[in-house]
Amino acid sequence: MASEIITADLVALDAHFSDSVDSVITELATLVHSTGRATEVDGLAQSAIERESKGRTDVAGQVAIPHCRSAAVTEPTLAFARLADGVDFSGPDGDANLVFLIAAPEGGGKAHLKILSKLARALVRPDFLEVLRTAQRPEEVVEAVLGVVNAEKRPKKQAAETAGSAGAQAGATAVTSAAAANVTNTTGARESASGAAVTRIVAVTACPTGIAHTYMAADALTQNADTRSDIELNVETQGSANQEPLPSSVIETADAVIFATDVGVRDRERFAGKPVIESGVKRAINEPGTMLDEAVAAAQKPNARKVSGTAAAQSSDAEEGAKLGWGKRIQQAIMTGVSYMVPFVAAGGLLLALGFLFGGADVANGWQAITTNYSPTNLPGNAVEVDGAMMEFQRSGMMLYLGAVLFATGQAAMSFIVAALSGYIAFALAGRPGIAPGFAGGAIAVLLGAGFIGGLVTGLIAGLVAMWIGSWKVPRWLGSLMPVVIIPLFATLVVGVLMYMLLGAPLAGIMEGLQNWLRSMTGSSAVLLGLILGLMMCFDLGGPVNKAAYLFATAGLSTGDQASMEIMAAVMAAGMVPPIALSLATFIRKNLFTPAEQENGKSAWLLGLSFVSEGAIPFAAADPFRVIPAMMAGGAVTGAISMGMGVTSRAPHGGIFVPFAISPVGSYFLAIIAGVVVSAICVLALKQFWPNKAVREAAAKDAAAQAEPAAA
């Protein structure tokens, strides 16, 4: 006869464990091992810690439920600790002080998920939480928990009727990242602990920079799925960190797919034929539950929109429903181009800055001659022959030579900016066949002086033409030549003819006019431009308006002129303001923010210093009418001061961690500090005189709690 899943020996009340997540899990694993339900502590603890690293297991109410399947476990077991001091499981309500460890044998199927589902449902009941918090003896906890996990399953019909509402509140799922997707899923009929059918969903998240939104969206979907018993979710993050694609076996068994992206999905054809829900990445952050509901519904509809079979076949009538509107597709294509262009700008800009740092300000006047005519064994002096004339340089020897090498390497990287922008715009529209014509078009745009505007146009033309040619119905023998010969050849030909014979000169004129306008901006006009850019950067914190300002700045760096570098500095400085200001505000007046906002404030400052504006999103999402206007005010001040003082940046990213790419760095910091102070004052004033409902309710509870002892 199987023993009960939890006994008094598996309960620790008011325990003084260490203050780290790993230590708490290890202590609970020790409890399991001490009862003979695990063969070793380390193996069980490591399995639970690895699962925790792939997706936090916190839930509302200062509760955490780490769980795992492990070869060290001999039978399904539940251990519980009520902590004397809370531990940071990154929960929405602060440090967790109630922690369950669910340990299941490696071959135990979904035993731990069924326990997790029942526990999660019970944890939304105040009476159950009250028992856990006030129990004087371990036996009281055991009785309450067994009453939950041993409860009879409801009739299947009733479970099906209430699965949606119950799943929205609590439950559980096998939520795994791509790294954990090799866990074997059961086949055949799939049922959750509630008896409802389980829908397997795969998701892809991606944003233009691949730094913040990508991972925030993945976390939001994962955390929401963790509260449901009707879903199994696997997420692939196509971010700037090393990408781990979903295994093909996981994709094949998926019932539906979610694309939460602001750029094109890499290798989209892997998901061909799957019902699809598509949106921008911010919707997954703000409405993860709604997107999961839509994916479940799509999986059950025979006529649901589906992912097209190949990138070249996206225009067929049968797959028309899988496409976004043309406006959205073009926007995503441009953002894809920007996301691939940014590394060229970053590498090139920083190398140019290092070249100036080592070789002096005048290294730009002779880097070609120095790198061509000298070597580490034949170093240049102060005087170097440049274009037939002797030129004096501030530095000499290895410093001048190394500076010239760095500058030359940076110039080489910068020369690919427009081609990369154009090539990957075309790639986002037409897949791999669009890359060659896109790159060729970008190179032609540079040759004709059309700059990044020409790159935008050639990328769109190349992608659309390649997509159109790819839709042709051709004989089978010719099909294999289409993506590698026919499409690149004819698309490149069309782009070249159009640029040289029709579009090149007008686009070059537009680019020259834009550059002249930027160069002419001095005094009040430059300040006004900085103010506008600052407002845009803080308006939606990583949304379309923010990205439009960022695109304007990064694309302009390809020209290498003073005005473009001033715009880049203003944009980066303004984008740093919101997270830093909100972090400062939560430090100054904690009582004006919810506990979750106070926790977010502890790390937001570092995101701000790194130029990750998305660090302010949790604050803006919870209280937009107070936070966003305050952030826009500070961003406008920073942008205006930066432009007014002529601050320049050769780097498109990095925040305060690229000081050698910014000049003058003192004025840059001054602009940021001014904006942070303005935003912090504004948000504190708005919250003080117009507090939001959540803060008022928290204050009322605190006042009531303080009044009770006095009344007694």
DSSP string, 279-333: E-HHHHHH-HHHHHHHHHHHHT-TT--B--S-GGGTTSGGGGGGSPPHHHHHHHH
Mean pLDDT of 489-497: 96
Does residue 543 surpass a pLDDT of 80? no
Alpha-carbon distance 680 to 290, whole Å? 33
Q: Would residue 538 show up in a list of annotated catalytic residues for this protein?
A: no
Alpha helices in 174-299 (DSSP H): 213-225, 248-252, 281-286, 288-299
Mean pLDDT of the chain: 81
According to DSSP, the residues that pair with 78 across neighbouring strands are 102
Q: What is the pLDDT of residues 604-637, one digit of tens each?
A: 888 888 887 877 877 887 788 889 999 999 999 9
| Residue 177 banded pLDDT, cuts 50, 70, 90 | very low
pLDDT > 90: what percent of the chain?
33
SS3 state at 531: helix
Of residues 578 and 598, the one with the higher pLDDT is 578
Alpha-carbon distance 195 to 104, whole Å? 20
pLDDT at 585: 94
pLDDT at 602: 86
pLDDT at 151: 66
Does residue 102 surpass a pLDDT of 80? yes
Does residue 495 surpass a pLDDT of 70? yes
Q: How would you class 390 by CB atoms within 10 Å of its CB: exposed for 0-12, middle for 13-18, buried for 19 or more? A: exposed
> Residue 321 to residues 268, 316, 469: CA-CA distances in angstroms?
16, 10, 20
Hey, what are 581's tokens? 């200001």
CATH number of 199-307: 3.40.50.2300
Is there a contact between 374 and 401 (Cβ–Cβ < 8 Å)? yes
Does residue 708 surpass a pLDDT of 60? no
Alpha-carbon distance 53 to 698, whole Å? 31
pLDDT at 211: 55
Q: Would residue 33 show up in a list of annotated catalytic residues for this protein?
A: no
Mean pLDDT of 237-259: 82
pLDDT at 569: 93
Residue extents of the structural domains in the chain: 8-150, 199-307, 327-514, 521-707
| Residue 475 banded pLDDT, cuts 50, 70, 90 | confident
Does residue 174 surpass a pLDDT of 60? no
Q: What is the pLDDT of residues 184-200, one digit of tens each?
A: 333 333 554 444 578 99
pLDDT at 387: 82
Hey, what are 574's tokens? 């303004």
pLDDT at 463: 93
Alpha-carbon distance 341 to 373, whole Å? 32
SS3 state at 101: strand
Q: Are strands 63-64 and 58-59 parallel, antiparallel or unpaired?
A: antiparallel
pLDDT at 114: 62
- The DSSP secondary structure of 564-621, one letter per residue, reads HHHHHHHHHHHHHHHHHHHHHHHHH-GGGS-HHHHHHHHHHHHHHHTT-GGGGHHHHH
Q: Domain 8-150: which CATH class?
A: alpha beta
According to DSSP, the residues that pair with 12 across neighbouring strands are 81
Q: Are strands 11-15 and 63-64 parallel, antiparallel or unpaired?
A: unpaired
pLDDT at 68: 82
Is there a contact between 574 and 244 (Cβ–Cβ < 8 Å)? no
pLDDT at 579: 92
According to DSSP, the residues that pair with 383 across neighbouring strands are 392
Helix or strand run (H / E) with residue 230: none
Of residues 341 and 294, the one with the higher pLDDT is 294
Alpha-carbon distance 670 to 689, whole Å? 29
Of residues 417 and 544, the one with the higher pLDDT is 417
pLDDT at 45: 92
Helix or strand run (H / E) with residue 402: helix 397-414
Catalytic residue among 33, 68, 207, 213: 207
Q: Please compute, for residue 335, the number of CA atoms within 13 A of its CA located in the half-sphere on the CB side.
A: 26
Mean pLDDT of 210-238: 81
Which of 41-45, 120-124, 281-285 has the least mean pLDDT? Answer: 120-124
pLDDT > 70: what percent of the chain?
82
pLDDT at 180: 36
> Residue 317 to residues 46, 177, 320, 471: CA-CA distances in angstroms?
51, 34, 5, 11
* Most distant CA pair in the chain, distance: 96
SS3 state at 480: coil
Q: What is the pLDDT of residues 277-336, one digit of tens each?
A: 998 888 888 888 899 999 999 998 888 888 875 433 333 333 433 445 777 788 888 888
Backbone angles phi, psi at 219, to 5 degrees: -65, -40
Mean pLDDT of 147-156: 59
Mean pLDDT of 272-277: 90
| Residue 458 banded pLDDT, cuts 50, 70, 90 | very high
Catalytic residue among 67, 112, 213, 653: 67
Residue written as tokens 């019902």? Answer: 275
Cα 466 vs. chain centroid, distance in angstroms? 30
Residue written as tokens 């001054």? Answer: 670
pLDDT at 316: 38
Alpha-carbon distance 88 to 521, whole Å? 50
